[in-house]
A and B are shown apart, each in its own frame.
Chain A
Amino acid sequence: SQQGEEDPQALSIQEGENATMNCSYKTSINNLQWYRQNSGRGLVHLILIRSNEREKHSGRLRVTLDTSKKSSSLLITASRAADTASYFCVGGFKTIFGAGTRLFVKA
């Protein structure tokens, strides 16, 4: 299965700091996606990075992908309290989610 496993499981930072979370996956992928889930709300797609890309930016988000290590990282810069959520990575077509990284941004 193409399962993403996020690390760390939980992260607590101050508003304004950067947050980095990592993802590892097991099999070859065509693309990798990051999703966010706020407490009590649905999953929101954040960004997709293709297997032939190494880095991608979207606003305050930066995603890297290292296919040789089967890993990806999501960087959120200048974090805000509203970024408090769980973040999931998903590799490829068969979307198998890990347990996610729970990010808490303190105001």
Chain B
Amino acid sequence: DTGVSQDPRHKITKRGQNVTFRCDPISEHNRLYWYRQTLGQGPEFLTYFQNEAQLEKSRLLSDRFSAERPKGSFSTLEIQRTEQGDSAMYLCASSLGGAGDTQYFGPGTRLTVL
């Protein structure tokens, strides 16, 4: 396994359009996380899944954002009606779960909303 992968790596869209990102975690990992990172800041937690169940969502995750992990493997993050403020790097991470859990991050998807 080569690690967490994300697709696409870059996305440019016009304001008001919908976008969807995909994350493929490390295969045996039960947990999957989504973060957003803007320039000069650390990643901000958005949501996480334990298998297919979405267990926690940040207040940052407005109703325009939705994430799924239908079969407990890959996950998608959709942003509807994008706004310029959505421009950021979207990071996905996965982990085995349990105490002392280490998250392994993907390369991220950079979103630019024009």
- CB interface residues, A 74-107, toward B, < 8 Å: 88, 93-100
Of the candidates A41, A50, A95, A99, the one whose C-beta lies within 8 Å of that of B103 is A95
Query: How large, as a class, is the contact surface on chain B?
Result: 20 to 34
Q: Give chain A residues whose Cβ lies under 8 Å from the Cβ of B85.
A: none
In the complex, identify which listed stretch (B39-47, B65-73, B75-83) lies at the interface while the others stay far away: B39-47
B106 interface residue per 8 A CB criterion: yes
Query: Count the A-B residue pairs with Cβ separation under 8 angstroms: how many?
Result: 43
Q: Give chain A residues whose Cβ lies under 8 Å from the Cβ of B91.
A: 42-43
Q: Which residue of chain A lies nearest to B44 when distances are taken between CB atoms in the complex?
A: A97
B100–A95 contact, CB under 8 A? no
Q: What is the CA–CA distance of A35 and B56 in the complex, to the nearest angstrom?
A: 22
Q: Is the interface of B mostly helix, strand, loop or mixed?
A: loop
Of the candidates B43, B101, B107, the one whose C-beta lies within 8 Å of that of A97 is B43
Q: Give chain B residues whose Cβ lies under 8 Å from the Cβ of A31.
A: 99-100
- Known A-B contacts A94-B45, A99-B42; the reply to A43 vs B102 at CB < 8 A is no
- CB interface residues, B 99-114, toward A, < 8 Å: 99-108
Q: What is the CA–CA distance of A95 and B45 in the complex, to the nearest angstrom?
A: 7
For A41, A95, A97, A99, the residue with the greatest tally of chain B CB atoms inside 10 Å of its CB is A95
Q: What is the CA–CA distance of A44 and B4 in the complex, to the nearest angstrom?
A: 12
Q: B-contacting residues of A (Cβ < 8 Å)?
A: 30-31, 33, 35, 41-45, 48, 50, 88, 93-100
**12 more A-B residue pairs beyond the given contacts A45-B103, A88-B43, with a C-beta to C-beta distance below 8 A:** A31-B99, A42-B91, A43-B43, A43-B91, A44-B105, A45-B102, A88-B42, A93-B101, A94-B56, A99-B40, A99-B41, A100-B42
A-B pairs with beta carbons under 8 Å apart, 12 shown:
A30-B99, A30-B100, A31-B99, A31-B100, A35-B105, A43-B91, A43-B105, A45-B104, A45-B105, A48-B100, A48-B102, A98-B42
